[in-house]
Structure 1
């Protein structure tokens, strides 16, 4: 698929970048300094052609917000699970941290804004225990309240992406500013896991933050959404998946760099967390945690 890139200017004076890949446009703009510790990625999407598609979302160690401005998903469900009430959340939505894959079906004609949040950024934005959202997808208004519906309506009412991002920046900044602060020990524990790609012993983390392992597990799980051990597995998997997209990288190198015992261990983790293989991940286009199916 070919890609074309153009630039326009938003109302705040920051540049909006528009990149076309196939029939889909990806629209981005740098987010304000206040949001940078909490937001990992931030993009709008719209499709020129109405083409149905299915993607598999794999664990990334991030929470996701999708503000739907056009056609909604027809289904969002955990892979390998029977359809549940959660699978019917197809409009604007929030997804907590995952320890397994999820499949999303879309009829085509998508227009939406998608944010990836750090777990502790999501904790501040949502103002509730992240453990309540683990492996769940819920409606945006169920988490952020009626103001989320008003914001979505205002975003849909303008076709100018710079103005859309201005509205979103203002709403996110205000809510994060009044959100709860995570425990400093949990913040430090997450930083240690993130910096090492999950390659650090949980006992060492507990010792460094000055908590018992049991207390660390309880508080960390409440505010991040996954246990420290599962977070380490997800971060290690995500690092390996990124490395596999690089030219010339082989499985032996990925196994050693990411701290897997051997390639059999690497294969087991890819099967457990994404229901795929490292080889398939290497040849499949992966965009923001999604594999085209």
Structure 2
């Protein structure tokens, strides 16, 4: 497959289109100045730099990318315990559909927001994608989006539906900016301003999420409620409103996410990982992988990952 010249709205920090200046066209990372690093990963270029200190409490991933080719593709997205923003600077997605959920899916969708998930999704794209992808902590997403997070659970919606009409202007400005360092500067300024005025999560919800995430989803919900000083019913209502999933569903996703990471390291087999992550046995682990990823543990670990998704 031949390298595709990035679109006129696309990359640069490096200004040579197909081979950004200062970057080797290989899998090794290169730098282009201003702290921006560019690397070739299979059929795409990935652009990143250290996050702004003010964003660190809210982000878990932040990178730009563009494809070297323009072939249509489909990827599977599995739950991670994070919310995602994809700012599309070129071709929109053809479809985002949720496995096991009736209905036609999103249809054609450009820049999008996806809340927390507890089931897999399929994303289809015509090829030639150029985008910036953000992964946010649940409470970072609540502060950024300023909407009840339960409304975004297992849904992909247009960015403008969440951030308002200013989202379209932001996407246009990012697309018109040729330099990646300048793109990141622009996006950082918008994110910091919005986060600075967003709703603050309840401290009890923040503590509850810390307990769940810190235990890899193995702590008992009753203990979490006791720790934060709320009844279980009140915890469930407030937590679901600000995180998007119930505490029990969040724990399930966090256990799964930890199991995927342990299996990917290759230090232990499925039975040992099942025990370490709080599953009853390996059969329980297998059932959870089927439910949350529509794949076996072996299939999931072997799958090629593309910006947080699994190539189909």
Call closer, same or farther: CA 1:156–1:20 in 2, change over 3 Å: same
Return the offset for 1:288: 4.8
Bigger shift: residues 279-288 or 71-80: 279-288
The corresponding residue for 2:28 is 4
The corresponding residue for 2:85 is 65
Return the offset for 1:4: 2.9
Q: How well do the aligned residues superpose, as a CA RMSD in angstroms?
A: 1.2
Match of 1:235 among 254, 277, 287: 254
1:50 lines up with 2:74 in the alignment: no
Determine if contact 1:64/1:96 at 8 Å carries over to the other structure. yes
The TM-score normalised by the length of structure 2 is 0.89
**Cα deviation code 1:171-215 (max 9, x no counterpart):** 000000000000000000001111111010000000000000000
Return the offset for 1:81: 3.5
**1:67-146 alignment, distance < 5 Å:** 67-84=87-104, 86-146=105-165
Return the offset for 1:82: 4.2
The corresponding residue for 2:305 is 286
| Paired residues, number | 287
C-alpha distance in 2 between matches for 1:55 and 1:182: 32
The TM-score normalised by the length of structure 1 is 0.95
Call closer, same or farther: CA 1:156–1:175 in 2, change over 3 Å: same
Call closer, same or farther: CA 1:176–1:89 in 2, change over 3 Å: farther
Match of 1:33 among 53, 62, 69: 53
Bigger shift: residues 205-214 or 272-281: 272-281
Determine if contact 1:89/1:139 at 8 Å carries over to the other structure. no
C-alpha distance in 2 between matches for 1:286 and 1:251: 20
4+ runs of 1 displaced by more than 2 Å? 80-84, 285-289
Which runs of 5 or more residues in structure 2 are unaligned? 1-25
Determine if contact 2:205/2:235 at 8 Å carries over to the other structure. yes
Determine if contact 1:126/1:179 at 8 Å carries over to the other structure. yes
Determine if contact 2:88/2:171 at 8 Å carries over to the other structure. yes
C-alpha distance in 1 between matches for 2:145 and 2:117: 17
**Cα deviation code 1:111-145 (max 9, x no counterpart):** 00000000100000001110111111110001001
Match of 1:17 among 37, 45, 48: 37
